[in-house]
Amino acid sequence: MAYYDARVFGKPWILPYQLNRATYAVPPLLPWKQLTAAPRYNHKAMRNFYLGWELDDYKSARSVAGRLQQTV
């Protein structure tokens, strides 16, 4: 696996999921971390996912109303 990652991504310790998050994701995985700058998306579906559903979920997790809604 490390050999494959080294040949495809240039470094053996970078996993495909990490590279995807670093390239496309605006909201971080942990709600207490800050947003990153939005990259240029080449496809509308990817833009809708990262700046739509995923960003809305991140904002909900950071809000008091969102936390109350998750516990119910």
Q: What is the DSSP letter of 38?
A: P
Local mean pLDDT, 10-residue blocks, the chain (72 residues): 90 90 90 88 94 88 65 50
Q: What is the DSSP letter of 43?
A: S
Handedness of CA 40, 42, 44, 47 (dihedral sign): negative
Instruction: Give the pLDDT confidence score for residue 37 in this predicted structure.
Output: 93
Q: Put residue 10 in one of left, alpha, beta given phi > 0 → left and psi -120 to 50 → alpha.
A: left
Instruction: Give the pLDDT confidence score for residue 45 in this predicted structure.
Output: 95
Instruction: Give the pLDDT confidence score for residue 66 in this predicted structure.
Output: 54
Instruction: Give the pLDDT confidence score for residue 3 in this predicted structure.
Output: 93
